[in-house]
Structure 1
């Protein structure tokens, strides 16, 4: 019996070795498939990341350009309003001075006519 146990143990040992070899082979195949799949996904992820980054950069540049143009437009409009207000103020002052001068001239003409 001792010999049969040894034989059985030997068979178990042989089957364990075969099972280990099969398991290792399957594990190697699974690792190879996982490696290939990971490399493929990584390559696709790099392409997606690059495309996503480009899209984000384009969007942000477009938004920034739009904001800059709006700000420039507002500054130009405010500058024009200020210039127009200054010119209107100067025109009003000129008209007041002209009216005052005309009244003074009219008063002096009237005063000379009374003499």
Structure 2
């Protein structure tokens, strides 16, 4: 005889949060869900800098399209490649756009995308 699971038990099993690939724990702060504690901590620091007037135009999950010498870089399925960084803002003192990513364990894919972004003049800081 086989054991059977009820619909409620299946639903409960499916609603359990999945573990992150590299052990980061999702956290919710002020109603915003972050992928890691490090990312949430950096967001709090950046919000304080914004309130102090040192930075402006603070954004989360900023998408930067990747360009090559001959135009947009395309993935195998024809979509334009991109790098999504955790934070983007403008430093008031320099007027420079800054992109930051809270990384604990950079993947090979991330490293390649970061290098392509750097080649097109978009520097990504790791915090």
Q: TM-score range by the shorter chain?
A: under 0.3
The structure carrying a bigger helix percent of its residues is 1
Larger relative contact order (Cα-Cα within 8 Å, sequence gap ≥ 6)? 2
Query: Who wins on radius of gyration, i.e. which is larger?
Result: 1
User: What is the TM-score of this pair, normalised by structure 2?
Assistant: 0.20
The structure carrying a bigger strand percent of its residues is 2
User: What is the TM-score of this pair, normalised by structure 1?
Assistant: 0.21
